[in-house]
Structures are given as C-alpha cells and as structure tokens.
Amino acid sequence: MKETIISVNHLVKIYKMGDLEVHALRGIKLEIYKSDFVAIMGKSGSGKSTFMNIAGCLDVPTKGEYMLDGVDVGKLNKDQLAHLRNKKIGFVFQSFNLLSRTSALENVELPLMYNSKITSKEMKERSINALESVGLASRAHHFPSQLSGGEQQRVAIARALVNDPVVILADEPTGNLDTRTSVEVMSIFQKLNTQGITVIIVTHEPDIAAYTNRNVTFRDGRIQKDLTVEKPRNAAAELLTMPVLSEEDTI
Amino acid sequence: MKLRNQLKAALRSLGKNKMRTFLTMLGIIIGVASVIAMLAIGQGSKESIQKQIANLGTNLLTVFPSASMTGGVRMEAGSSVKLTMDDYKAVSSRCPAVLYSTPTVRTSGQLIAGGQNWRTTVWGVYPDYFNIRNLEIEKGAAFTLNDDRTATKVCVIGQTVNKYLFGEGQDPTGKIIRINKIPFQVIGLIATKGQNAWGQDQDDIVIAPFNTVQVRMMTVAYIQSIMLSATSEKMIPEATDEVTQVLKERHRLGPSEDPDFSIRSQADISSAATATSSILTALLASIASISLLVGGIGIMNIMLVSVTERTREIGIRMGVGARGRDVLLQFLIEALMISLIGGLLGVGLGIIASGVIASIMSWPVTITIQSIVLSFMFSTVIGIFFGWYPARKAASLNPIDALRYE
C-alpha cells in the first residue's frame, strides 16, 4: 500500500461575508499518496483554490479533518502552522510572489532563513542546488526584474524545493505564462515528480492537467471526478519538438 | 530567523528607501541632539552657579548679633555689639562640627601708597579666614596668629587694591601703605577671585590681623561677626545648632527664647540657586524631549506605511514559514535601527551643537556622560515603543490575506 501524504475528510470551508455565508467547500474526502502528481481542476468558484490554501496550511478549514504527513493540522496553532509550512510544504503561486530587489539566490534562501538549524554555508549550498535543479544556477545573482516570467516561476519552484518538503503545492503555476514556458515549467514538475516528490497543481487548463498522473475535478465545493491519467504527456519530449520562438507560441 | 540575518534584512530594507529612512531618522537626530544640548546648557549654568557660590567660601556660616533696639527703634542687623571675644572662644572650642573659625571686624579705610590712594574695606581676621573663604595667596604670604597676638601692622591686599595703588601685575610685597594714616607693610597679594554672584568685586579688599584692626584702627572691644566653616556641607545644620546652643547658653537665653544673634549659611543660597537651575534644566530637557517624542511618532507613521506597502512581502515570508514573532522582530528591528542610528548621529550633533552654543553665545556648557546615555536610551525606548504597534500589526496579518493583498 502506498504511503499517504495528504488525507482530508469531511472538509468544509464557509466564508462569512456579513450575513451571507459562502460555502466554498462542502465536504471533501481525498487522499494523496507519496509521489503522486495531481492536478486539481474545476471552474472558478469550484473551491479548488480554497482547498489548496487549506492544504498549504495558509488557511484553516471550518470543519473536517486534515492529516499532513501524519500530523493532525486541525490541532495546530499559528506558530505550529508556520513551522509546518516551513518544513513540509513548498508553495508555488500564479503570480510568482518573489521578493523584488532581492536576488534569485536570496529568494530561494528565504525558507531556510526561518529554519534556525541551518548554517549560512549550508543555506547557500542548498539554495544553489535548488537553482541548479531548475536550470537557473547561472542566474543566481539576478533580480526578479531581470528575469523572464518563466525564469521567475522557476526561481519560485526552487524556493519551494529548497526545504526538502513532503509536498509541493502549485496554485495555477502556468497561469501567467505562455505555452512554451508553461511546458517548460511542467517539465520541471515532471522531473521533480520522477525523483519522488509529491506535486499538486491547481489548473483550469485540461492541456496542463494532461501532464499529471491524476486529475481531481472540483465542482461547487465537492469532488466531481477523480481520474487516473492513463498516458500522461511528456513535457520534456514535447519541448524538443517545439520551435523555440514562433508566432503560435507567443501570447 | 537568526539575528544576523534579521539585521541584514533590516539594513537592506532601510537602504531601499534611503531618503525616507533619513527623514524619519532626522526626527530622532534632532530630538536627541536638542536633549543633549539643552542638558549641557542646564548643567553648565548649574555648575557655574555652584562655582560662584563655592567661591564665596566653603560651607560658610556667619554669626551676626541681632539688630539693636534703642527705645523701641530697631537698628540694622549687626548693629548690636553683643558678640564678644569670649563668645568666639566658646564657639571655636565647644563646637565639634566647626572646622575653621575667626572673629571679624571691618572698617573702611583710606589707603595711601606713594602718590596713589584708594578707599576700601579693611577686614580684621584670624588666618583661618583664608581657609573659610578659599582665598589663595598669589605672592608673598598670609599673616600668622603670632602677628595677631602682637598686633603687627601687616596686611594682605586684593588685586583691585594692588591695581589702584601699585599698578596691575606689580608685586606689592614689602611695600608700605598707610591705612587711615597708620603705616602697614604689605606681605601678600591675594589671587584673583572675581565678582561674586551679586556682582560684588571680591578683590577690592584689605585683610589684616584681627587684633591690629580691632585695637589699633577701631579701638573697640566687641567683634562684629564670627565666620566659621562646617566640617562638611552635610554638617552645616549640625554646626548651626551647636553654635546656637553655645551662644544661647552664654547669653543666658532659655531654649524657647529668641536668640539675640542670627546665623546665615551659604547652604540656603546654594540650595535655592541649585534648585532654580535644576528647574531650568528640567524645563529645557522636557521641551527637547517633546521633539524626541515627535520623532518617535514619525517612526511609527513611516513603519505603518511600510507595513501596508509590504503586506505582500509579509505574506510571502509567512507563506514560507515565518512565524508571527519573526515578522514582529523584523519590523521592530527596523524601527529600532532608525532610532539607534538616529540616536548615535544625534549624540554627535548634540555635542557639536553644544560646542557651537558655547563659542557663539559664550554660555557655560557642560556635556555629561549621563546626558548622552540618558538621551540615547530614551531614543531606544522610543524606537521600541513606537515600533511596537506597526510591528504587531504586521505580525498579526493573516498569511492568506497578506498574499492576496494588491
């Protein structure tokens, strides 16, 4: 039996806006196993981002239980949640969310800064390794404003990787990128996944979801479909056949 | 997050907005500088007042006979002739809190030396007088008790007298002056004392042995006052009590009866003057600290703007695992850095400003270590106090809201 990384049961999230209650999640039951590559799909308002925020310990559910790598997240306080985010989760955002006027290397170092057990030498080594694994070691000292969108997202992935998390959560990681760059980013995720890292991405594009191994579709705060992808697309192979710059690829 | 990294991060984020950081700092710089300058002016004036008072004599007590009364008409203080040599002897031998003592008589005399003449007060005293009044002999020597016993016609003169009789800077020792036609040999010149706190010239004086003045010049039997010094400043009240008791006993006055003499002490004047200058110092410093307070509000204002501006950054930091207290510390350190660096620059500016005030206004200025430490500490406290609220606000942000903030 496969090791369970994320396990949620009867997960409910209700946003209160004045007198109005918005039911974002209406009881989710989902298990994600080690080395899974999952795409969470659904229209906007289906609750997929809410699920992602709760899974990433950025938000807490109204009801229900959430086990992350054997830890009952519902019982943790704010500081313990921060610790969990630091140790077990790597987050990649749609808008990259890098610190401006801070070099790529230092952006990657950021999670390690909040881990008091790591020496500054180790911090630098691990950050450079993480940048290498996304193919950006040569741009370590560039600022985000000097990097393209795709490169910025790769720095963000390196930042998510650097703490050696049990799961990488990516919320619409290709949402701000063109087709070719999207495939590049997906190829990185695929590569990381083959190394055994669990990856969950949120996307509304079926094309992107096709690179993953499992597609979970949300609808109105419930899970509508949970399908295994029989033959995932191979991003690295497709990149080779893609023209580097053509009319089609430019948005 | 490690402190070193925190400091580095704080320095960097302050460096991003150099102009803004400097302007915020300016509030603290001016505040600290003005506190230091004001305290320096206050301390300087306090010290100069104390110096002037000490100049009059150390722990000085003067015993006067009370006003005489003739048929219900009171005369001026000291007009009675009720103090005698026996009173003096009793006081000098029976009061342990008294260190130096002398009987005094004084009269005015016309001095003539060569073609010059000058009118001044001639004091007849014991050699202890020089110790009581802190008088230093610049040239020659003071007279001795032996000169007093034999009523020798010698005297010591002040600088002003020397100037008018012999010329400034001349050595008068060995020369003869005639005081009210009696020849005296000048044996010493008193070092410059300057004016006292009331503008009186303390160098316009001739001092001669007590007996010489009492017997040869005035031909009286009474003494006009007894001057004495207490063993220490703290012993002044004790000495006053002892002298009162001895004199009352000798004058056969009961404990409840009013004394027929009065004792004036330097302590009253000294404490009044010191209290006045302390109030002045406190007033100046409190006005200056208001500017420091305003500087603190400036820090708070800028930190609040900074927290709002950097909400997204706070969200990112929390997203990758910063705890509330990491964020709190980050903003607190930034506020503290502004106030610490501002405080340091302020200390420098304050010292320069004090120097400029001293040289332009020629006011006495004294910078004390305490005032530097105090204002520096005050600025630190202000940094923490006014940095706390914005930092708290940053730390209490919800990561998900902070990340969504546009």
pLDDT in tens, A175-234: 888 888 999 999 999 999 999 899 999 998 999 999 999 999 999 999 999 999 889 999
- Judge: A163–B321 Cβ closer than 8 Å, yes or no: yes
The answer to whether the beta carbons of residues A94 and A171 sit under 8 Å apart is: yes
B77 pLDDT above the threshold of 50? yes
Q: Which residues contact B200 (CB under 8 A, 6 or more apart)?
A: none
* Angle of CA points B136, B138, B140, to nearest 5°: 110
Min Cα distance B1 → chain A (Å) is 5
pLDDT of residue B362: 82
Whether B303 has a pLDDT exceeding 90, the answer reads: yes
B:339-378 residues touching chain A, CB 8 A cutoff: none
Gyration radius from chain B CA atoms: 34
Domain ranges of chain B: 3-52+272-404, 98-226
Q: Is the pLDDT of residue A121 over 80?
A: yes
Residue B58: pLDDT band with limits 50, 70, 90: low
* DSSP track, A78-108: HHHHHHHHHHHEEEE-TT--PPTTS-HHHHH
pLDDT of B87 higher than 60: yes
pLDDT at B158 over 50: yes
* Closest Cβ–Cβ partner in B323, B324, B399 for A58: B399
pLDDT given for residue B68 in this prediction: 58
Fold category of A4-241 in CATH:
Rossmann fold (3.40.50)
Strand A222-228 versus strand B60-65 pairing type:
unpaired
Is pLDDT above 90 for B395? Answer: yes
Order of all β-strands in the sheet with A37-41: A89-92, A167-171, A198-202, A37-41, A214-219, A222-228
State how far residue A82 is from chain B, nearest Cα, in angstroms: 5
Q: How far apart are the first and last CA of chain B?
A: 26
Instruction: Return the residue matching tokens 């809201």.
Output: B401
CA distance A3 to A207: 28
Q: Which whole number is the average pLDDT over A94-117?
A: 90
Q: In Å, how far are B63, B122, B227 from B88, measured between CA atoms?
A: 10, 20, 9
Inter-chain CB proximity B323 and A83 less than 8 Å: yes
Average pLDDT over all residues of chain A: 90
Residue type, B395: A
Contact: A91, B320; criterion CB under 8 Å: yes
Beta carbons within 8 Å of A21's beta carbon, 6+ residues apart: A14, A15
Distance (Å, rounded) from C-alpha B233 to C-alpha B226?
Answer: 18
Contact assessment for residue B199 and residue B208, using Cβ atoms and an 8 Å cutoff: no
* Residue-range domain boundaries for chain A: 4-241
Q: Give B75 or B28, the one with higher predicted confidence.
A: B28
Q: Cα-Cα-Cα-Cα dihedral of A86, A89, A94, A95, to 10°?
A: 10
Q: B129-150 burial, b if ≥16 CB within 10 A, otherwise e?
A: bbbbbebeeebbebbeeebbee
Q: What is the pairing mode between strands A198-202 and A167-171?
A: parallel
Rounded to two decimals, the ipTM of the complex is 0.91
Q: Residue B131 above 70 pLDDT?
A: yes
- Average pLDDT of the residues of chain B: 87
Reported for A55-60, long-range contacts at CB under 8 A and 24+ positions apart, including other chains, are A55/A6, A55/A8, A55/A167, A55/A169, A55/A200, A56/A85, A56/A89, A56/A91, A56/A169, A56/B319, A57/A81, A57/A84, A57/A85, A57/A89, A58/A85, A58/A91, A58/B319, A58/B399, A58/B400, A58/B403, A59/A13, A59/B400
pLDDT at position B73: 67
With a pLDDT cut of 70, the percent of chain A lying above it is 96
Is the pLDDT at B79 greater than 60? The verdict is: no
Residue-wise pLDDT tens digits, A41-69: 998 889 998 999 999 999 889 999 999 99
Contact between chains at A97 and B312 (C-beta distance less than 8 A): yes
How far does the CA of residue B275 sit from the closest CA of chain A (Å)? 55
Location of structure tokens 């997929």: A48
Q: How far is A161 from chain B (nearest CA, A)?
A: 11
Q: What is the pLDDT of residue B81?
A: 64
Q: Is B318 on the interface with A (CB under 8 A)?
A: yes
Partner-chain residue, chosen from A58, A97, A110, that has the shortest CB–CB distance to B400: A58
pLDDT band at A19 (very low <50, low <70, confident <90, very high): confident
Q: Minimal Cα–Cα distance from A97 to chain B, Å?
A: 7
Asked if the Cβ–Cβ distance from B321 to A79 is below 8 Å, we say no
Closest-CA residue of A relative to B2 is: A116
Cα four-point dihedral sign B289, B295, B300, B303: negative
DSSP B270-314: HHHHHHHHHHHHHHHHHHHHHHHHHHHHHHHHHHHHHHHHTHHHH
Q: Which of A85, A109, A126, A172 best tests the B interface by mutation, with the highest count of B CBs <10 A? A: A85
Confidence (pLDDT) at B70: 61
On the 0-12 / 13-18 / 19+ scale of CB atoms within 10 A, A210 is middle
pLDDT at A246 > cutoff 60: no
The pLDDT confidence band at residue A118, using thresholds 50, 70 and 90, is: confident
A228 close to A179: Cβ distance less than 8 angstroms: no
CB atoms B400 and A85 under 8 Å: no
DSSP character for B169?
A: T
pLDDT for the residue numbered B289 = 85
Q: What is the pLDDT of residue B270?
A: 72
Distance of CA A40 to the CA centre of its chain: 11
Residues of chain A with Cβ-Cβ distance to B325 below 8 Å are: 79
- What are B223-278's pLDDT values in tens digits? 888 999 888 878 888 888 888 888 888 888 887 777 888 888 776 777 777 788 88
Judged by CB atoms closer than 8 Å, whether chains meet at B400 and A99 is answered as: no
What's the one-letter identity of residue A75?
K
- The pTM of the whole model exceeds 0.90: no
Q: According to the model, what pLDDT value does residue A200 have?
A: 95
The 3-state DSSP class for residue B100 equals strand
Residue A251: predicted pLDDT: 47
How much is the average pLDDT of A102-118?
A: 90
3-state secondary structure of B244: helix
E strands, B114-244, where?
Answer: 116-125, 137-140, 154-157, 176-179, 182-190, 206-209, 225-230
Tokens of B250: 């000798």
Q: What is the pLDDT of residue B260?
A: 82
Among residues 16-35 of chain B, which lie with CB inside 8 Å of chain A?
Answer: 16
Residue B20, CB half-sphere, CA atoms under 13 Å: how many?
14
Looking at per-residue pLDDT, the higher value among B194 and A250 belongs to: B194
Coil/strand/helix, residue B37: helix
Of A85, A97, A98, Cβ closest to residue B321 = A85
Pair of tokens at residue B146 = 């032996």
* B400 inside 8 A of chain A by CB: yes
Please answer yes or no on whether A114 and B1 come within 8 Å at the CB atom: yes
Q: Copy the structure tokens of residue B196.
A: 């006292």
Is the Cβ pair A58, B2 closer than 8 Å?
Answer: no
Name which of B66, B78, B58, B99 is nearest B238 in CA terms: B99
pLDDT of B1 reads: 66
